[in-house]
Each structure stands twice: as C-alpha cells, then as structure tokens.
Structure 1
Amino acid sequence: MTAHSPTVRSVQGDLEPTELGIVDAHDHLFFRSPLLAGQELDDVDLARQELAAFAAVGGGTVVQWTPYGLGRRAAELPALAEATGVRIVAATGLHQAAHYTPELLAARGTDLAELFVRELTEGIAGSGVRAGLIKVAGGFHALDAHARRTMRAAAEAHHATGAPIAVHHELGTGALDVLDLLCEEGEVPAHRILLGHLNRSPDFVTQREAARSGAYLAFDGPSRANHATDWRMPDAMAALADAGFAHRLLLGGDTTTAGARSVSGGPGMPYLLRRVRPRLEESLGKDVVEQILVGNPAEAFAVEWR
C-alpha cells in the first residue's frame, strides 16, 4: 500500500479495503449496559463461536460499534480475529448518557476528543488495539446536551485523524439533526458519517435527504423491538437504490444481547447472509446487494489516516 492510500484500521492492523470481503457493517461481539442488565454480551467463547458461524456463511469482516465504557473487551479482539479468520474493526466514542453512570461521565470531563484521538491513534488502554471508527448517539427526534457534546468531540477527533463517525439514531430518528450538527457546525464531510438504524423509522423522504447529503445509511436488524419495521427494509433500500443511492447503503446485524446470538438460539450474525441477503436480492438484485455488502463498506471504513 502507498504511504497515503486509504486503509481500514482493524484490530490486527491497517488493511487494504479490498481485504474486507463481505462486511457486517454494524454489530457487537461484546456489549454491557445497565439498560440491558442480565443480557450482557461478555462471553469470549460464544463470541468466537458467533464469528465462526458468520465466517461459515461467507462473512469476512465485522465492525463492532461498541464504544468506550460499555464492555467492548478490545484486548480479546485480535485473538478472536486470528482464530476465526474474520476481520474486526473496533470503535471508540461514547453512547447515550443513559448507558453510563453519572460518575463515569463526570470523570471524562471535557477530554472526550482527546480520548477518541488517543484510542484511534495510540490504542485502547490495556489492549494494544487501535479503534477504526468513532461511535456516538442521538436521542429520539432530538439531540440533548450530552449528544451535542459527544458529537462535537467526534468531529474534532475526525479532523485530527480522518476517522469515520458512526451514529446510533434512537428508533431511527433525528438523522437530519445529526447531519446539521456534524456537517454544518462540525464541518465533517458527509461521506465520513454513517447513520445507523435508519430502517427503524421508515420515512422515505428523510432517508432520501440523508442519502443525498452523501452520508452512508446503515440498515440493521432483525430485532424484537423493531420487528414492526424490519419487513419494510427491502422496500426502503430498493427505493433508495432506484433513486440513485445504492452506493450510500450499508447492512449490519446489530446483535446487542446474549440471547440474540445465533449460537444462543437467536438470529445472530449469520442471519444477515443466510436470510436477509436473499430477501434483499429479490428486491435489489444480486449486484446491488454485493455492492452493499462488499464495495460500500470498503469505501465507508477506509481512511487516509492522519
């Protein structure tokens, strides 16, 4: 690779974008939050089994959106990648305030951008693993003070490193407010922003406007909480593709609880390729789905790192 060519920052080092293969662009191997007490993703062996199951159906890369302070177990990730052959991208960033104790948020103070940059460039403490993206979160149809603070820090960290910014949207809402803050105030190029969960609010007008900005739209699922909108995802993605935005689409599984893993009886990561992919191929065609799973993430996560 040339000195300044775009690379994807995986837990095993920087990769050429063509090395990713089929990408689960939004998922979790480890996740621990007080909002999901008793449902933690924290078992290393089950994480290995889940990755192996994903690899068995053709999966090549998993992008873990678990940010700082939520049990991401970064030190375990290189060995899991080595054991399964699945490449892993880790995240820095901060989720909604409700996922943290007040003490942790107070302890972070105003050094969020510094923390994000350090984890992107030097590594996540105690792991030797460098993050490859910044994860932040909005609220339901709004951005509270915590969201604005973390997004401004993410914008600052992006300018220092080039890292992409991935955004959790509560029930799929608030995407245009996020773009206003990050693109206009934060001066982040839209193509460096990944808007998550947009399938959970099937507002085709908002989706087209978000895609028109140049941002990536990450569709994910399935989910018990969002089952009422899961079935609309093929139509939404087909509408965006027909409008000329196939190159802005990403697809992920977003496994957030232990029971959702395929090795624990849930749909898990393999479901993305075993069931979601064939369903989307009926609506979008095989070539477009290949672009969404391979070509688009290779561009979305590849950065000329600073």
Structure 2
Amino acid sequence: MYVQTIFGKMKPEELKLTYIHEHLYSDPPQFVKDQDSDLVLDDVLCSIREAQKFKQAGGSTIVDMTAIDYGRNIEIIRKIAKAADINVIATTGFNKGLFFDKWVYEASEKELMEWMISEVTQGIEGTDSRAGIIKVGSGYNNISSVEEKVIRAASKAHLKTGAPIGAHTEAGTMGLEQLEIMEEEGVDLNKVIIAHADRNLDVWYFKEIAKKGAYVEFDCPSKIKYYPDEMRVNAIIALVKAGYEDRIVISGDMARKSYLEAYGGGPGFKFIIKKFIPRLKIQFEEVGLDPNIVDKFNIENPQRVLVFK
C-alpha cells in the first residue's frame, strides 16, 4: 500500500498533515481569466512563499487538484514542492465540462481512460512525476453527457490503477449522482472524495455520501461569503455524532489571489491549521466529543483515501 507523490511512492503515514484539495499554481482558460483574474495563480515565487507558510504552520502534504484544463504545470509544481520542502500529489483527469478542451469532447471514453492511466502509471507531460489522484467534475445541478463520459472513463482508470478519485461538485450539487455513475462502473467508493460539499450545507446529503463510503470534503473554512464557519462546525459535529468521523476531510481550496497571504490576500494556507482546527477542537469539547477526533480529518483520513489499492 502506498500513496503516489510527484517525486515517487510514499508510505501513507509519511504524508502527515495533509490538505486534500488546493491549487499551488493555476492558469485557467482565457475566458475565465478575462472574467476574473483573481483566479490566476501564476507567480511562482508567491506560490512558493505560500507553500512555505503551510510548512511552517505544521503542514506536510498538499494534493494539488489543478487539472490539465485549468492550467496544470507539472514542472512548476515540482519547483514549488522542492523549494517549500513539502510533499505534493498531482492530479490527472478534468474539471467540469465548462473548462474542457475540444479534444475531450471528441475523444472516446476509452481514449480518455488510457490517457489518465498513462499519467498515473508513466508520468505527466514527459516527466517521471505520476499523478496520485484522478479528477472528475460536473456543473450546477446537472451532469452533461461529456461530463458523464469523463466520469465513466475515470472510473475505469481507477479500476485499472487503484488511484483514488476526487470529484468536483458545482456549489456542492450532484455528488450523489456522480457516485451513482461510479457505482455502476464498479468503483470502490471508499476511494472517492466529494469536493466542495460544504457549498451545500445539508447534513442529510453529507450522511448519504458517507453512507456510500465516500469522503465528504469541507473545503470552505474562512469563506464566510458562502456560510459562516459556525455552520460548517455544526455540520461536522453532526456527521461525527452520526458515526462518520472516518469520512470527513478538510482543506481550503484557496484558488484565488485574494485568499492567499503571499499574493496579498488572506487568510492563507495557515488558517486551517492555526485557526480552524483549534476552533473545532474547542467546539468538540463543548458538546462532549473527544477533540482528538479532529486530527483524523487532516491526517488519518487523507492517508486512508489516498492509498493505492
């Protein structure tokens, strides 16, 4: 059993504290940049400084979920990882259909599957850095035909490689529907992470995801424009009380300059470690829960789901 970083295989326990969904460098499609330049993270020195802040705060591993359709650059990711002395896991696969290149629409399911398998087993963009997770995604309240094709291709690639799957959900929608497609393909749902779940703060929905064996990803701590953190904390507590402490992962998905200290924004990569995790522990104690459970969300649970089987 191992996890696959950009510099090779590691034992799961070597990952230590992990953010399971971040973006160290991103160069999205031109129409996205034209609409919102805040989404462009292309200053390598700033990205290195932010990753160093993560390391200094006690972090060890970042799963970089920037897919090829959002400007993934493996050489730059390698440079950031080395400079900051952190472990990085890279992704193959795709984001949501809005970002797909023409070739994704034209490719067959088999061709997409083979491309993903090659990035997991051989390397990304001519390097020996292999992907350690497969990404899929869908739009708001809908899974288009091309998105379904990608999900099925990724599911087959998972079955061939044992790689975990990270699923983008738009505003937290369609997570269960994505899981239904994967289930039809025979995916081990214990290896699937439903991202951005807390954009849709619905505890029943979270329980249904966890009941299937998949992981509920809370990646909006500090993003008060969506919901106050109190609501996230209460949802996490409800999930733990329902018996799903092993199906919760926490990250920041801080894919904007305005979220990152090194780019002039905030609260930065250190927020979860320095502010959100301590708050969770305090509020767990207040309701009679063991605060040590909180450590699972960024240590034990990521190590379990990121393992290749």
TM-score (norm 1): 0.92
2:24 counterpart residue number = 29
- SS, match of residue 90 in structure 1: strand
Alignment of 1:204-219 (within 5 A): 204-219=203-218
Partner in structure 1 of residue 287 of structure 2: none
Answer yes or no: is the 8 Å Cα contact 2:68–2:92 preserved in 1.
Answer: yes
CA drift of 1:256 comes to 1.2
1:21 touches 1:60 (CA, 8 Å); kept in 2? yes
Runs of at least 4 residues off by over 6 Å: none
1:292 partnered with 2:294: no
Structure-2 change in CA distance of 1:130 and 1:226 (3 Å): farther
In the aligned structure 2, how far is the partner of 1:273 from the partner of 1:146? Answer: 38
Identify unmatched segments of 5+ residues in structure 1: 1-5
Query: How far off its partner does 1:74 sit?
Result: 0.8
Question: What is the TM-score with the length of structure 2 in the denominator?
Answer: 0.91
Report the counterpart of residue 171 of structure 2 in structure 1.
171
Greater mean alpha carbon deviation, residues 215-224 or residues 263-272: 215-224
Q: 1:225 to 1:129 in 2, by over 3 A?
A: farther
Q: Secondary structure at the match of 2:124?
A: coil
Match of 2:253 in 1: 254
- Does the 8 Å CA contact 2:105/2:146 hold for their aligned counterparts? no
SS of the equivalent of 2:249 reads: strand
1:131 aligned residue: 131
Task: Report how far residue 272 of structure 1 moved.
Answer: 1.4
**Using a 3 Å threshold, how does the CA distance of structure 1 residues 297 and 78 change in structure 2: closer, same or farther?**
same
Distance in 2 (alpha carbons) for counterparts of 1:91 and 1:294: 19
Give the drift of 1:229.
Answer: 5.3
Equivalences for 1:200-239 in 2 at 5 Å?
200-222=199-221, 224=223, 226-228=225-227, 230-239=229-238
Do the aligned partners of residues 260 and 216 (structure 1) sit closer, same or farther apart at CA in structure 2, a change above 3 Å counting?
Answer: same
Distance in 2, matches of 1:20 and 1:154, equals 24
Q: 1:97 to 1:229 in 2, by over 3 A?
A: farther
- Summarize the alignment of residues 155-166 of structure 1 with structure 2, pairs less than 5 Å apart: 155-166=155-166
* Greater Cα offset, 83-92 or 279-288: 279-288
- Quick one: which amino acid aligns to residue 243 of structure 2? G
The answer (yes or no) to whether the contact 1:31–1:257 under 8 Å persists in 2 is no
Deviation at 1:296, TM superposition (A): 0.6
Hey, what does 1:194 align to over in structure 2? 193
Name which of structure 1's ranges 105-114 and 235-244 shifts more when overlaid on structure 2. 105-114
Give the secondary-structure state (helix, strand or coil) at the position aligned to 1:267.
coil
> In structure 2, the residue corresponding to 1:42 is in which secondary structure?
coil
Structure 1 equivalent of residue 14 of structure 2: 19
Instruction: Among all aligned residue pairs of Structure 1 and Structure 2, give the percentage whose two residues are the same amino acid.
Output: 30
